[in-house]
A and B are shown apart, each in its own frame.
Chain A
Amino acid sequence: MESIKDKVAIVGMGCTNFGERWDKSVGDLMVDAAYEAFDDAGIEPKDIQAAWVGTVFSGLTAITLAPLQLQYIPMTRVENMCATGSEALRAAAYAVAAGVCDIALAVGVEKLKDSGQTGVLGPRVVGTSSIGNSGIEPNYSAPASFAYLASRYFHDYGIDPGEGKKLLAQIAVKNHYNGSLTPKAHYRQEITMEQVVNAPIVSWPLGIFDCCGVSDGSAAAIVVRADMAKKFRPDPIYIKALSICVGANQGKMRQDYDFTHIEENVRASRMAYNEAGIKDPRQELSIAEVHDCFTIHEMIIYEDLGWSPRGRAKEDIEAGTFTLRGELPVNTDGGLKCFGHPLGASGLRMMYEVYKQLQGKAGPRQLKNPQLGLTHNLGGTSGAGICSCCIVGNQKS
């Protein structure tokens, strides 16, 4: 099996402001993100040879891309729940790596606030559930399915729930600090531990500040063959790994699924490290953008991705390992928590931050000399997940 490493480069990216974009349609957001990417790459829309749009709820077919007026080229809509944005990037990158096109566009977009409902909808196929069955199933929300991790983690590691909530709060506080430095983020206010711990409960033990923002937004990436990349810009970002790992409802069916780790996270990250040739991710990664849909998930990600030992994320959280000035900064742009989580766009927004950081363009958030970055998405729930990890770097190996 071959690796994608250094075969494809990202030469342009765009990202809209995320938030409650009442005045912008799906098309408006895509145009904003895609045209920023075209400008960044120094190309015209007509140079795009194939395009993928990633969206979960905001469009059903590739015709969703019509507002971009790409004329009669291959286009497809892709969807993989919260990993949709990364899926669009994967598709575009593989097409370029396969040699069937030289320049491809990946756009992610979502208008969650157009639903008129509180929170995130469960995906629906007409008349039935997201997997095509009757939809007769227990009623539970997305926060609940991640709260299961918190209940079990506190129980297994002997953490008093009050102390556990404080631990999770540190993650929210960190991300809000980072978000305050990020002009395009949905939420830009700093918050305190007390605010987080005392916030109304959404799904115990998770409170409002343990849950990411429900937002509108779009992000885009332009990928080319690595050997062409320097024609577009002096500082292309090379894709080192693209991995994905999908469960089969193991958590909902098997008693050996422990709800203190997510197997999909573990396997997808190892696949990506392998493909990129990374042996010690904590040392070798300069930055990571991970799927902090809920604070508990970010904590478990530290362990699942091999950065903190099992059951000991607490030590790293308290040491500030993952803060902006720490050993391995995580979610330097505020993460899903503050930037917001328009499902189809998030994977590409994460890549946007890593891309800008690796090019030295992250302003007040800029890390010192970053070289390798990782994005991580998990779609689905704790018991049934779709995990996608992408690793990029600013040097060819």
Chain B
Amino acid sequence: MVGITSVGIYVPTYRLSRDEIAKAWGTRSLGGEKAVANCDEDSVTMAVAAVLDCLSGNQERIDGLSFATTTAPYKEKQGAAIVAAAVDLVRESRTADCTNSLRAATTAMNAAIDSVSSGSARNVVVTASDCRIGAPKGDFEMELGDGAAAVIIGSSDVIASVEGTYSVFDEFTGVWRSDEDTFVRSAEQRFVNTEGYVRTVQEAVSGLMEKYKLTPKEFSKAVFYAPDAKSHANLARSLGFDPKTQVQDTLFNTIGNTGAAAPMIMLAGALEKASPGDRILLASYGDGSDVFIFNVTENIDKIQCRPSLKECLARKKYINYVKYASWRGLIEIEASRRPSPPTPAAPCLWRERESILTLYGVKCRNCGTVQYPPARVCTTCQAKDNFEKYKFSDKRGQIFTYSIDYLAVTSDPPGINAVIDFDGGGRMQCELTDCTPEDIGIGIPVEMTFRQLYQSGGIHNYFWKARPIK
């Protein structure tokens, strides 16, 4: 039996209400709100958060990771390798990027399922993450949201087994972005949604039903990617699913259309409430459609693997339109009159990769002192070369002291930085993120989160920041 063994979700903290967008432009609001990645987040950082959520320790059993997105930070440099390094997978893992299509997540899931079924891998993490931008004043700006999810595909302790799959490809110019485009482009909406989305997903789902001799009423839940609420409703109805009882919430009005991540985030939502014996349909869309049948097993009740979409959605703060626009680089703001950080030297980045990407420090075997960064001579007892590796990224801590720094170079001033004391030992000076000065004080508990520090020389420099624990 091959299927999903764990699920993780990550939704950024911030929300932009559609009323705010409408107010900025004097246009009509679609109602609801969308999730907005912080200026220090991107598809890679969100994927790391989602993968850590579904891993909950036990990285050693993972031997593959696929990163699915349409908004990869690099055109040439594997995002999956960065994610794998940050979440601390073993080196002999098979990493792969799956990009350029809204159905990248399900493409990657199919590959993982085939891989585990054939025995070429045992446990493969598939993570989907997107951070697409719609042109200002347009529909996409209202609709698109940011988010990520991750599943582990394996063959032991499966919570939702794969009963069947079906795919169609479709060469269709509906929604696209060239390698130079910042904004998602679209052909005429009604055409795209009827001839593209609805027709294609109908075809794929019908094909699946016929292949496996199933009818809509044999499914507890139907999870469909949705470009918008109306098309989604049309599709569901045309296929014969009951919108009230069967169709999974698209989260369109709570986080927006999260692109490649959407099918997986919605699936996570379905699994959060599923019971053993439920049959779930999943259909993606983008240059075709991948459809899956999942059977929920009793393991879903036994194992601590249920994602908490509810918690992710509850954690939110609102921003205004100007902040959103400056975070996404839509408005170029006056540069701070401080030097730009230099491009880090590649040899240094490589030498320090474990302490930078995975936040490894060391623990002295002689006196037990935990310290960061890794050292050869202990800060407490001066013992030399007598350490074991010690990971900080999964540790919690508290603020020992801090400042609200108006002089620090940051995309979103003021910078908030602090000295963090970790539970179990060790201390680090950190930038804080996803918070305002009101959230900060001595003793506030924090957790670590993987973020982008800055870009220079075309390189995205990632590191960890601290975030107050909700």
Contacts and interface: CB of A to CB of B under 8 A. Distances in A.
B192 to A, nearest CB: 42
Given A136-B463, A141-B407, A141-B408, A252 B348 contact: no
Interface string A244-278: 00001111111101010000000000000000000
B215 to A, nearest CB: 56
B401 A134 contact: no
B82 to A, nearest CB: 13
Interface stretch (A70-78, A120-128, A387-395): A120-128
Given A144-B415, A151-B442, A136 B401 contact: no
Contacts of A133: 348, 352
Nearest to A132: B348
B431 interface: yes
A155 to B, nearest CB: 5
Contact of A152 (B341, B400, B437): B400
B176 interface: no
Given A141-B405, A254-B427, A136 B461 contact: yes
B453 interface: yes
A168 to B, nearest CB: 14
B426 interface: yes
Nearest to A145: B403
Interface residues of B, number: 50
Nearest to B349: A134
B356 A148 contact: no
A272 B216 CA distance: 86
A147 B338 contact: no
Q: Which 4 A-B pairs have the closest CB atoms?
A: A147-B403, A141-B407, A134-B348, A204-B404
Interface in B408-441: 408-410, 414-415, 417-419, 421, 425-431, 437
A69 interface: no
B427 A144 contact: no
Contacts of A206: 403
Contacts of A118: 336-338, 407
B379 A250 contact: yes
A143 B403 CA distance: 9
A138 to B, nearest CB: 4
Given A117-B337, A143-B407, A248-B379, A253 B400 contact: no
Interface in A171-214: 200-204, 206
A253 B341 CA distance: 24
A127 B342 contact: yes
B344 A202 contact: no
Given A138-B465, A151-B442, A144 B453 contact: no
A383 B461 CA distance: 25
B277 to A, nearest CB: 49
Given A140-B431, A141-B415, A250-B379, 6 more contacts: A126-B342, A134-B344, A147-B405, A148-B418, A151-B442, A152-B442
A253 B339 contact: no
20 contacts: A115-B339, A118-B336, A119-B338, A127-B343, A133-B352, A136-B344, A136-B463, A138-B429, A139-B415, A139-B417, A139-B431, A140-B415, A141-B408, A143-B407, A148-B402, A203-B406, A252-B428, A252-B429, A253-B427, A259-B419
B403 A135 contact: no
Contacts of A144: 403, 405, 407-408, 415, 417
A126 B454 CA distance: 18
Contacts of A141: 405, 407-408, 415
B380 interface: yes
A124 B339 CA distance: 11
B341 A148 contact: no
Contacts of B371: 253-254
Interface of B: 336-339, 341-345, 348-349, 351-352, 356, 369, 371-372, 379-380, 400-410, 414-415, 417-419, 421, 425-431, 437, 442, 453-454, 461, 463, 465
Contact of A148 (B379, B380, B419): B419
A: interface residue count bin: 35 or more
A255 B421 contact: yes
B375 to A, nearest CB: 8
Contacts of A116: 337
B464 to A, nearest CB: 9
A252 B372 CA distance: 8
Contacts of B348: 127-128, 132-135
Contacts of B415: 139-141, 144
A148 B430 contact: no
Contact of B356 (A134, A142, A253): A134
Contacts of B417: 138-140, 144
B345 A138 contact: no
Contact of B425 (A119, A139, A142, A255): A255
B345 A127 contact: yes
A111 to B, nearest CB: 15
A18 to B, nearest CB: 21
A252 B419 contact: yes
Nearest to B457: A127
A203 B401 contact: no
A358 B342 CA distance: 46
B430 A138 contact: yes
A256 B377 CA distance: 18
Contacts of B427: 252-255, 257
Q: Could you say which of A139, A248, A255, A257 has the most chain B C-beta atoms within 10 Å of its C-beta?
A: A139
A128 B346 CA distance: 10
Nearest to A154: B442
Contacts of B407: 118-119, 141-144, 202-203
Nearest to A149: B401
Nearest to A200: B406
